[in-house]
Amino acid sequence: MAMTVTAAHHSIWRHLYDSMHAAQRPKSKVKFVTLDKESNMSTLWRREEFLRICSKEDLAEKAQDIEVTITVRKSKEARYNLDPESFFVNRFWGRRLNGVEINEVLQIGYILEFKQSTDGNEGFLEVKEAEANEQHKSIIGALNAAAPKFEFRQINFVVGNRGSVVESNFYPKLKKLDVQEGKKVKLFADHVTQVCKAHDRMIVSFLQQVEEVRGQPQSRDRGRTLGTMCTCEEIERGTHACRASKLRPVEQWYACSSALPLAS
């Protein structure tokens, strides 16, 4: 299920990110600078617009001071023991960001993070917000220290696996990213729909894999199997640019961002 869950995360976030960009006010000063894919800090600081904010050397120095206060995970202890002097700076440059927006006129930068959570309890939003802030505290802290003329803030988008999106938490974040007022309601509705579709696909994927493990044939009363439901044009043309063709049928179906949900 790991691949299916990861694909769910990426497809929901990419849809929301692209939708916010498309719904921005005309001539907005907030620039979406990571439209193509997620980027790590090292990749971003090869770009001219980020080097204008602060030098890589200054950022590394400020990051080191914060990174040394963050616990080394057990899975990274071997790497730390091999080269403790460079470990913390390397960890910083390897940190990945879901999205970055820059307003060079107001000199404000937004670091975006997207989280999915089990939404069985009312406190899921606060828990995931705190987790996201902790995850990027070295990035926010280092940037604000190395680039005093800029102010960097973090914006977190949190959804529940069963479709929960807190409306009162969602709309103020759209305003910060300069999304047009008249497009916010539709954007919110489309986002919730994507979350629910992703949840449906994960459940179907799980049930299919359980059937495969038990050696039971795929049920035919749904009309079509998962492997035939992908509508990705790249797969249909045989070019497989989305690389979904390398996956098993259920993963191939899910990996395509335009995959259709099963009919009820």
Q: Which pTM was predicted?
A: 0.76
User: What pLDDT, on the 0 to 100 scale, is given for residue 140?
Assistant: 97
Contact between 16 and 157 (Cβ < 8 Å): yes
Residues 27-57: tens digit of each pLDDT: 999 999 887 777 899 999 999 889 999 999 9
Q: Which residues contact 83 (CB under 8 A, 6 or more apart)?
A: none
Q: CA-to-CA distance for 37 and 50, rounded, in angstroms?
A: 17
Structure tokens at 216: 């039971």
User: What pLDDT, on the 0 to 100 scale, is given for residue 240?
Assistant: 40
User: What pLDDT, on the 0 to 100 scale, is given for residue 59?
Assistant: 97
Residues of the chain with pLDDT under 50: 220-264
User: What pLDDT, on the 0 to 100 scale, is given for residue 69?
Assistant: 95
- 3-state SS of 201-246 is HHHHHHHHHHHHHHCCCCCCCCCCCHHHCCCCHHHHHCCCCCCHHH
Cα distances from 20 to residues 81, 83, 165, in angstroms, run 43, 41, 16
13-21 contacts, C-beta under 8 A, 24 or more apart:
13/98, 13/114, 13/157, 14/257, 15/190, 15/191, 15/194, 15/257, 16/114, 16/157, 16/191, 16/194, 17/98, 17/99, 17/112, 19/187, 19/190, 19/191, 20/174, 20/177, 20/179, 20/187
User: What pLDDT, on the 0 to 100 scale, is given for residue 217?
Assistant: 55
User: What pLDDT, on the 0 to 100 scale, is given for residue 216?
Assistant: 59
